[in-house]
Structures are given as structure tokens and as C-alpha cells.
């Protein structure tokens, strides 16, 4: 059974731009906060780093803006584990406001030994914990690429 729960955060009015909606750069902040929330739920967050000297570092991400967000708003972010291998974790998240999908976030993180400054395989129990939380179905937005198409 998945431990992953929705992360909630109120839109910070400092994040609102001159157009009256959430500035594009600040969409990433609640996704990053939700990622920390998810890591802590899975026991691979701050306590894990202190205990083992290892952490997950993001090496790639893709953010899709689906619909604008205006203040005030309660941002509800649902994390998703998509796949896991020896050293990497492919995850994602959906941001909802008032029951409407507003943005999606996809990321790949690598397991790093901070002291050695290099990637290392994650322990079997960590990999098993991540796999036990795999999404039952991959969302349609996973793996999208950015393009205007061939001209």
C-alpha cells in the first residue's frame, strides 16, 4: 500500500506576477516541497541523509503548465513513483487547485553518496520501498518531450 499522500501548500502571494497569476518560476517551489514531503514519507529524506550520508539528487525535470493559478489558492500536489532501478528514481507529481489539474512535474533523481561525491546503488530496502509505491498506471503526460514539430 502506498504511503504517498497529497502535499498541500497555500500559494504565497510573493509568487504572483504582474499578470495576477502564479509566476512560472514558482510552480517548481511547491513541487520541490512536495518532493521533500514524499522523500520523508518514504524515509529517504533528511533523516536518511543524516543516517547514511546518501541522498537523491535531481538530474532532470520536466514541468508542464496546464492552467493558470491565481491567488488565493490551496495547491494540492500528489507525488507518483513511476519507476526505479539500481541508482535512479523516476517520479512525478500533479498539482491541483479546486479539483482542477493545473500542472504536472516529472523528474529523475540519482542516488548519491554525498561524502564520495558520486552515484552509488541504493540499498535493497530503499529500492523495495520505492517499488512498493509504484503507480498502478503511468499517466499520459509521462515522457513528453518539448517540440514545435518538424518544419
pTM given for the model = 0.90
Does the residue 2 lie in any domain?
A: no
What secondary structure, in 3-state letters, does 68-120 show? CCECCCEEEEEEEEEEECCCEEEEEEEEEECCEEEEEEEEEEEEEECCCCEEC
Tens of pLDDT along 123-133? Answer: 999 999 999 99
CATH number at residue 47: 3.10.129.10
Does the residue 25 lie in any domain?
A: yes
Does the residue 144 lie in any domain?
A: no
Tens of pLDDT along 33-92? Answer: 999 999 999 999 999 999 999 999 999 999 999 999 999 999 999 999 999 999 999 999
What residues make up the domain containing 78?
7-131
Does the residue 141 lie in any domain?
A: no
Number of domains in the chain: 1
Does the residue 65 lie in any domain?
A: yes
Amino acid at each position: 500500500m502506498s504511503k504517498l499522500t497529497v502535499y498541500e501548500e497555500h500559494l504565497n502571494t510573493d509568487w504572483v506576477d504582474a499578470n495576477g497569476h502564479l509566476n512560472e518560476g514558482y510552480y517548481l517551489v511547491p513541487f520541490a516541497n512536495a518532493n521533500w514531503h514524499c522523500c520523508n514519507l518514504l524515509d529517504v529524506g533528511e533523516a536518511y541523509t543524516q543516517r547514511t550520508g546518501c541522498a537523491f539528487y535531481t538530474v532532470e525535470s520536466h514541468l508542464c503548465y496546464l492552467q493558470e493559478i491565481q491567488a488565493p489558492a490551496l495547491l494540492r500536489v500528489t507525488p507518483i513513483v513511476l519507476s526505479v532501478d539500481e541508482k535512479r528514481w523516476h517520479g512525478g507529481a500533479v498539482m491541483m487547485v479546486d479539483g482542477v489539474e493545473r500542472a504536472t512535474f516529472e523528474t529523475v533523481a540519482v542516488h548519491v553518496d554525498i561524502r564520495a561525491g558520486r552515484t552509488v546503488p541504493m540499498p535493497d530496502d530503499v529500492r523495495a520501498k520505492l517499488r512498493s509505491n509504484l503507480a498502478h498506471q503511468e499517466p499520459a503526460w509521462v515522457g513528453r518531450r518539448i517540440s514545435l514539430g518538424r518544419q
